[in-house]
Structures are given as C-alpha cells and as structure tokens.
Chain A
Amino acid sequence: MIVLETQNLTKQFGGLTAVNAVSMTINQGDIVGLIGPNGAGKTTFVNAISGLNPPTSGKVTFFGEDTTGLTPEQMCKKGLSRTFQIPSPFPKMTAIESVMTASIFGNAPGVVKDPVQHSREMLDFVEFPMAEDVLSEQLNTVQLKRLDLARALASHPKLLFMDEMASGLSEGELSDIMRILDKISRKGISILMIEHIMQLIMAVCNRLLCIQFGTKIAEGPTQEVANDPRVTKAYLGSAD
C-alpha cells in the first residue's frame, strides 16, 4: 500500500529552485532514508510535504488523497508527524506538557481519553531519560530530540518524518535510537528519515532517496542507491 506519493514536487524561493520536480513513493512499512549533501533541499522537500512551506507546484498524495498545500495542522490530523532538525521544543513547557499538545490537538476528538497518561506512555516509549516535569529549556540536544520524537508520536502518525534525528549522537545513543526506530516501525508507522550517518542508514533503511541541488538523483533499495556512482559522486565530488 502506498502511504505517500509525490509527483514533480517543486519548491521555489524567488528565482531559486530548492526542490526540483521530485517524485517518490513511500510504501507501508518502509523506512526510507533521504540523503544528499548539505543544502540539497532535503528539509525543504519535507517541509513542502508536511505543509510548513507549501510547494510551488507538483502534487502530494497521502493515502490516495491529494494533500498538496494542506497546512501542517491538517497533515498532522491526517497522520503525518515530523520532528525537526534543530529540536523544536516549547521552551517554557514541561516535557509532559509538550507531548500533551500533540496528544490533545493532534488526534481526532475522543481518540485519546487521558492525555496525561497517553503522553506519559509516549515519553516511556522513546525512553525519555528525564523526569516528566522538567522544563524543556533545561534539556540538552539529545533529550530534546527524544522529546520531539515523543511529541511527534503522540498524534498517532501513520507516517513519520525524522529530520536528522541522529546527528550529534554518541555511539551508545545511536544504538538507542536504532532500537527506538525499530519499535516505531513495528507499530506499523512508516518512516522517512533525513540522515547523514551512513551507519544508521545502512542498518535501518530499506530504501533510499538521494537528492542533490534539489533534484532526485537516485531512488531504490538501500544497497543499490548507496553503491550508485552518481550518489558517491554527489557526496565525494568527481575526480575531475
């Protein structure tokens, strides 16, 4: 079953084409890695789908429904969640309050009977290492990323976008993230992750999408894309 499909998705900022006619699909259960050099347009691509920065042209289909240009709050209710590259907390809220926002407002009425309990479960699920009443502004990056993930999961997503969840993590934290990713995937949530850490990508992703200068240069099974000469060239530059 196709979860998400984009057709010729394009995002222009004035004269700059940040994402250029990218078409891709995500199937149920996929963990897709979105890779590409810095400034390739990965985050812009994700923003265009999730509604933070609506696309200039092209089409987004989410579970067979045209969702092009919907707002983030509408996409959230349809089952698309995301985390942010720079962890994006509510600084003056406690951890549990932050998760409760998504748990209360991200679900259809009546889905979550007890938002406090539900948020607690989400914090446990992502193995949040701190007390639930700690203020977000007191957390470090690793903790914030966990919190951001718990918030994203609290709205019962069917598809989860993770923007550089693993950047800046230590070896041990990386294996924690892999375990949590596995748990998320086993809940039946499809994942699109922007990532630079090849170790993580090779371990968890079943498919890869590589973007360079806003244009898709490869899409397919992980090994195939990783060995694609165009991808290697995009990352390492050409010999000439």
Chain B
Amino acid sequence: METTNTVQSSPAWGTLLGKIGFNPAGILCVFLLMALPFIPPFNQEYLLRWLIYAAFIATLSVGFDFTSGYINIVNFGYAAVAGYGGYTSALLAVNLNISPWIGIFIGGANAAVLGLIIGMISLRLRGIFAACLSWFFGLALMGLATKLVWLTRGPLGLRTPRMFETESNIPFYYLIIVLLILTYVICKMVVNSKMGLAFKAIGQNMDAARTSGINPVFYRVFNFTLSCALAGILGGFYGHYYGILTPEVMHTTKTVEVLAVAYIGGRGSLWGGAVVAFPFIFLMEIIRSTLSHLPGLNLVIYALMLILVMIYYPGGFSHFFDVHIRQSKNKILRILTGNA
C-alpha cells in the first residue's frame, strides 16, 4: 500500500534518513530495540531468545516482502532458501573450518545463485505458478537436506559452531538487529530507486510494464537474486545462533510464518512485517508455551489472523499506519512519522 510513498515527494524530514527509509518514528523503534535487552522483563534470557527469533522472522519478512510486495510473486520456498544458505555456512564451518563470519556471506552468495536459478526458471510463469515453482524448489531442498544424511546428518541435525563463544544471547541479539536494519536499508534503497518502479510495474501489470519498455527478465531475476541472498545470510545466522541446523528450518510452515508476518505488516511496505513480527512472535510464543497441551494451535491462529487480515484489511498494518497515524490530524504524530 504505497499510498503516500510517491517517488516525487522527497522526504521532508532529513533527506539522508528518508533515503534509507527512516522517519523519526522508525528511529525511535530502532532505539527501543537497542534498549530492549536492558528493560525488564526482556532482560531475561528466555525472553531474549524470543526477541532474537522475532528479529530473525522480521528480517526474513523484509526480504520476503521485497519479492512478494513488489514483483508480486510469493516465494514459498523462502525458508528453504534461507536454510540452504544456513547449511552452506554450517557445512563450511564443520568440514573446512571456515569461520561463520565468512561462512554466512558465502551462504548468502550460494543462496543468491539459487535465487538466480529460480528467477530464471520461473520467468515464463506468472503469479501463482511462479509461487508453486519456488515452493517445489523449497520442498526439494528440504528433501535433500533430510535425505543426504552423510552430509547434513538429516533430521538428527548438524551441529554448528556459534558465532559468539558465549552463553549470553545479547551479542546475537545485536547482530540480528544490525542485520535487520541493513536488510531493510538495502531493500528500501533499491525500491526507492528506479528499480522499485520497475518492480512494481512488473508486479502489477506485466503487459503494460513490457509495453512501457521494462524488461521483466532483468528485474525479476535481480529481485529474486537479492532477496534470496539476504535469506541465505539470515539462514547462516540462524544456524550459527542455535548451534544446530535441522531440515525443519526449511519447512513450508517457516515460510508461512514469514508470509503471515509480512502480509499482516502490509505488503509492499517492507517495514510493516519488521514491526509486526515482534508482537506477533511474542503472542505465538506465549500461546505455544501456555497451551503446550494443544500443539499446532499457533498455526491455526496464524491462518485465522492471515485470513482475517486478507479479507478485512488487505493493506495490513502499514496501510493502517499510513491512513490513521501518518495522516492523522495530530501534529505530533505527523512530525513523528515524517509527514509534517
């Protein structure tokens, strides 16, 4: 829902900040995230783990929205691509003793190649068909990770070295927050450039885009490559944070988790999913821990929330924010959201 984010209106509040997609409210959110590990009750280790997981899903949802919200192709294999990057990095660390800090970028590059391939193969397909193709890719990858036991140890899980040799979760938390911000800034800068216009044009009307001179091949493949590269790096983080990688991480339900967050956050906003992920994941974790005798209930709630949002508020949280907060009559709210 890019109702207010038109290309021609240069951001009034701080050109530089505007360029990387931040307004004062966004900056406040970043500060809040930075301070959160010191604010009770979030300073407890188990809540910190939730926070890290939420930030992980938030970051994935930014990369996911970069594809689904712009070129309008739902990459159902997104979690599998992340897992693919994670396994790359983990295997490098286990077998060749390569530092996770280098490994996650090799994982990202490897995932980018995969994204390039998926992008190329799905070129002739539109909408749901391209989504299915990416899904099959994801299923195949997960199948490989499960069956290639000699390589990945299959469902037993691959033990990976952690990125920080400490019991504390705090360094991991700050690392994922940095990754979240970087991912958001990279995606935002790309969509704020001419490329963003091409992405949207291709996603919204392929024929009109082509007759307007846009070459869909380049932009679609580029989009897939970048979003998969980001997923690959995040997968690496995941593996080196939990210290164990199982094929479970590549499961479609993981993608659906990301998808739900991205859609509830607002398609095409990039930031919506990142913001919504935190309360959403906390809610899910609370449900999971308090209603542990009803396994799977959280998935039912995902589905319900997603359906409700899709039917009654397809614009998601970012649309709500644009209409009711960004353009509110309250002056303070408008200054905070960079719309003064």
Contacts and interface: CB of A to CB of B under 8 A. Distances in A.
Interface range for A: 35 or more
Nearest to B204: A90
A50 interface: yes
A4 to B, nearest CB: 16
Interface string A59-94: 000000000000111011100011010001111111
A92 B214 contact: no
B201 A101 contact: yes
A105 interface: yes
Contact of B197 (A71, A76, A82, A104): A104
A44 B93 CA distance: 57
Interface string A171-204: 0000000000000000000000000000000000
Given A92-B2, A93-B204, A105 B211 contact: no
A106 interface: yes
A155 interface: yes
B6 A101 contact: no
B204 A72 contact: no
Nearest to B216: A73
A89 B208 contact: yes
Given A92-B204, A96-B8, A105 B3 contact: no
A22 interface: no
B79 interface: no
A185 B225 CA distance: 44
A107 interface: yes
A135 interface: yes
B201 A76 contact: no
A148 B2 CA distance: 20
Contacts of A148: 208
Contacts of A88: 205, 207-208
A104 B212 CA distance: 9
Interface of B: 1-3, 6-8, 194, 197-198, 200-201, 204-205, 207-216, 268
Interface of A: 50-52, 71-73, 75-77, 81-82, 84, 88-94, 96-97, 100-102, 104-107, 116, 133, 135, 148, 151-152, 154-155
